[in-house]
Amino acid sequence: MGLLKLISNRISTEWKEKFNKNIDYLNDLEKKLSDQDKSMNSRIDNLVLHSGGESPNEVVDARVNNKGETFPTLHGRLVEHETLTDEQISELNTNMDSQKEQVQQLNKSVQQIIGGYNEPINIYVSKDGSDILGDGSEEKPFLTIQTAVNNVPLITTSQITIWVGSGAYLEDIMIRNLNFTSFLIRPIDNFDTIDPLKSDLPVKIRSICFTACKGYCQVAGMQIVDTANGADYGIRNEQSGYMAINRCKFAENTKTLARYNAVYVGGTSKINMYGDTTLINQKVAIYAVLMGEIFVSAFGSGNDVGILCENGTVRGTVSTSFATTPTKTTGYGLIITKGTVLQ
């Protein structure tokens, strides 16, 4: 049975051609060795049967190989044949090892595209980790959150959790073009009992953005810092699915920045804010734009604009002490402050 060719893949046409050429070579070599073996056995059997097993003709004839080449002695021919066979077997083993390495490379590439099925994916990040030597395990965590994100498969049905050790990670984290069931970024340390109005949260980042992703995502226990050197938002959901913001904190004063939206939702994305998420001294605390939709449950004070709704939809409201301008709409923005029954 010959080796099977690689019919199709999504990795590289050039790689597939090289792979199939190697398969053709191995199959051809296997056939040649098989034909030589059958030819020799048939010839020897015929001579033995017709010489009665006693004639020296058998030995003399055995000095000639299947190509008609005559050797001085039968021993010489056998040694030559065995040497050639050994070389061919060695070459065959080398090619098989090469094929094995290519298959392993292929499997790794496929795994980067398509993740495990239903098995949870847990990736760890720590200030003591390494993006070079780490592998994202609890024993060998990565140093940066972005590296952890970059190791998430493009498509997966698994639940993804990035566990982040306490500390400040001055990163503008971008999660782009991923397809997942759920994606959670949260601290390793427990933060459920922390009051963001009174205390800092264990993990600090510059910003985080989900864009063009499909699935449920959650950002939990994160505090936005170093805003002057980061993006023009703290947490952003753009052209993606449903996001939950759980017990996050925005406390650096952003009023002097030219443009800054602490929480941004746009392009048919949705956000649910809960868990005592706190916003203090923000230029714009909550911004819904271009069909973006958000449910607001937020605490804080000292903000310039609490809710800015520009052709988006906001459900919920904020107190008058939350911002100088608690709510503001532009274009066809809609703010729904209480439930109603439409008739």
CA dist 213 to 111, 153, 329, Å?
A: 19, 12, 27
The count of other CB atoms within 10 Å of the CB of residue 72 is: 8
Residue 127 lies in a domain: yes
pLDDT of residue 11: 55
Same domain assignment for residues 174 and 100:
no
Same domain assignment for residues 255 and 226:
yes
Q: How far apart are CA 77 and CA 98, in angstroms?
A: 31
Residue 3 lies in a domain: no
Same domain assignment for residues 129 and 176:
yes
The count of other CB atoms within 10 Å of the CB of residue 330 is: 11
DSSP letter string over 260-306? -EEEEEETT-EEEEESS-EEES-SEEEEEETT-EEE---EEE-EEEE
Same domain assignment for residues 35 and 76:
yes
Same domain assignment for residues 39 and 180:
no
Residue 194 lies in a domain: yes
Same domain assignment for residues 332 and 257:
yes
**Residue 248 burial (C-beta neighbours within 10 Å; 0-12, 13-18, 19+):** buried
Q: For strands 242-246 and 222-224, give the pairing.
A: unpaired
Same domain assignment for residues 66 and 92:
yes
Q: Give the number of domains in the chain.
A: 2
The candidate with the shortest Cα–Cα distance to 210, out of 136, 283, 129, 292, is: 292
Average pLDDT, the chain: 86
Residue 158 lies in a domain: yes
Same domain assignment for residues 193 and 287:
yes
Mean pLDDT of 251-266: 95
Mean pLDDT of 294-313: 95
Amino acid at 322: F
Q: Give the domain-ending residue among 84, 113, 142.
A: 113
What is the residue whose two structure tokens read 């609890």? 138
Q: How far apart are CA 182 and CA 152, in angstroms?
A: 12
The count of other CB atoms within 10 Å of the CB of residue 263 is: 29
The candidate with the shortest Cα–Cα distance to 206, out of 188, 177, 232, 240, is: 232
Same domain assignment for residues 216 and 130:
yes
pLDDT of residue 87: 80
Residue 7 lies in a domain: no
Strand partners, 313: 293, 334
Same domain assignment for residues 171 and 314:
yes
Q: How far apart are CA 158 and CA 155, in angstroms?
A: 9
Q: Is the pLDDT assigned to residue 35 strictly greater than 90?
A: no
Cα 242 to chain center, whole Å? Answer: 20
CA end-to-end distance (rounded Å), the chain: 72
Same domain assignment for residues 140 and 65:
no
Tens digit of pLDDT for each residue in 109-152? 555 556 655 688 999 999 999 999 999 999 999 999 999 999 99
Full residue range of the structural domain in which residue 158 is found = 121-336
CA dist 55 to 48, 60, 74, Å?
A: 8, 10, 15
Q: Which residue has the higher pLDDT, 292 or 108?
A: 292
Q: Which residue has the higher pLDDT, 341 or 165?
A: 165
Same domain assignment for residues 83 and 173:
no
Residue 205 lies in a domain: yes
Q: Give the domain-ending residue among 87, 113, 139.
A: 113
Say if residues 150 and 111 touch (Cβ distance below 8 Å): no
Tens digit of pLDDT for each residue in 196-234? 999 999 999 999 999 999 999 999 999 999 999 999 999
Residue 20 lies in a domain: yes
Q: Is the pLDDT assigned to residue 12 strictly greater than 70?
A: no
Q: Give the domain-ending residue among 53, 81, 113.
A: 113
pLDDT band at 54 (very low <50, low <70, confident <90, very high): low
Residue 331 lies in a domain: yes
Q: How far apart are CA 230 and CA 228, in angstroms?
A: 6
